[in-house]
Amino acid sequence: MYDETSIATRPGPRREELRGFLRARRAALRPEDVGIAPGARRRTPGLRREEVALLAGVGVTWYTWLEQGRRINASSQVLDAVARVLRLDVAERWHLYRLAEATPVRSPAAPTCAAPVAEVLDSLDPLPGVVTNERYDVIESNTAHQDLFRDWHTLPCIHKNLLWCALTEPQARDRFLNYDEEVPYLVARLRAAYGHHLDDPDWAEDLRRLSDLCPEFVQLWERHEVAAPEVRTRRFRDPDAGDLAFQVIELEVAAAPGLRLLAYTPADEVTRTRLPLTRTEVATVAVP
């Protein structure tokens, strides 16, 4: 029998994401983390729903409905209390607000790289620089960035996406020296950005394809970890220049919402002196 009520109250993609996020964060806490004796019999990993509700000062039914993804009103004050109990950091707190629809969600804009932005990118040379969107699609890159990753792929690159290249290239771990630190961070940034695009079919299809290709991505994605922008150190092994270390600085492109400029600055003097060697080797090889 057709049930209109169940269809109308079924959680949408935003609420489904909220449900998974709250469950994951609740399961990540131990009772003793919040001053509760663990007890002898606990079938639920982490905190129980009623424990979160008690500590946040909200009703158990209300919190249960929130975690189930039901369409209930949630004020920023109440969400603040839940965030405090779950020990959410700044990025996780804003992720919670977006999923609970407690803050306005900006409509997506088509990303474009204006000529002045491309000129700024080129001016960074010999420092590598790249402009990406929130999914890490490469919108524009300068010559230094192209040189740095010129021998990255053993498979044809059809994605032009930083995360896809790291996750699907068989030799990525050999070339990306702190892969195990940086790839989870990249996925956490993607998860945070996803809160803006839950109803976007392009995002859904992109995530589906990457999940089909890469079981490692599925494992990282299911952690429901989110992260905020920060200066990161990334280490690469170049076949000609050797080991290189960069601090990656991220700048928002205000004129094009959703775009960001990543500038790779040398993290040590060895990299600073070796970086031109990458260009020199390319030029030398190109000469007959």
Let me know whether 95 and 120 are in one domain.
Answer: no
Q: Residue 256: name the closest of 139, 122, 85, 82 by CA.
A: 139
Let me know whether 83 and 31 are in one domain.
Answer: yes
Copy the structure tokens of residue 127. 């420092």
Per-residue buried b or exposed e for 168-189, using 16+ beta carbons within 10 Å of the residue's own CB: bbeebeebbbebeebbbbbbbb
| Cis preceding-peptide flag for 126 (omega within 30 of 0) | yes
CA distances from 41 to 35, 165, 208, 260, 282 (A): 17, 45, 38, 49, 64
pLDDT of residue 103: 60
pLDDT of residue 142: 93
Task: Give the C-alpha separation, 81 to 57, whole Å.
Answer: 7
Let me know whether 10 and 149 are in one domain.
Answer: no
Q: Note the Cα 242 to chain centre separation in Å.
A: 28
pLDDT of residue 53: 92
**Lowest mean per-residue pLDDT among 19-28, 135-144, 272-281:** 272-281
C-alpha torsion sign, points 53, 20, 18, 258: positive
Let me know whether 73 and 13 are in one domain.
Answer: yes
Q: How confident is the model at residue 230 (pLDDT cuts 50, 70, 90)?
A: very high
76-85 and 90-99 are packed helices; what angle lies between their axes, rounded to 10 degrees? Answer: 130
C-alpha torsion sign, points 221, 222, 228, 230: negative
Tell me the CATH number at 49: 1.10.260.40
Copy the structure tokens of residue 227. 């992260």
Residue 51 lies in a domain: yes
HSE-up of residue 54 (Cα within 13 Å, Cβ side): 9
Let me know whether 128 and 222 are in one domain.
Answer: yes
Average pLDDT value for residue range 19-37: 87
Q: Considering 99, 127, 144, which residue would you say is the last residue of a domain?
A: 99
CA distances from 102 to 18, 78, 93, 105 (A): 12, 10, 11, 9
> Which residue range(s) make up the domain with 138?
115-286
Structural domains of the chain, count: 2
Q: Considering 99, 129, 145, which residue would you say is the last residue of a domain?
A: 99
In this predicted structure, the answer to whether residue 266 has a pLDDT above a threshold of 50 is yes
Q: How confident is the model at residue 143 (pLDDT cuts 50, 70, 90)?
A: very high
DSSP 22-36: HHHHHHT--GGGGT-
CB 262 within 8 A of CB 247: no
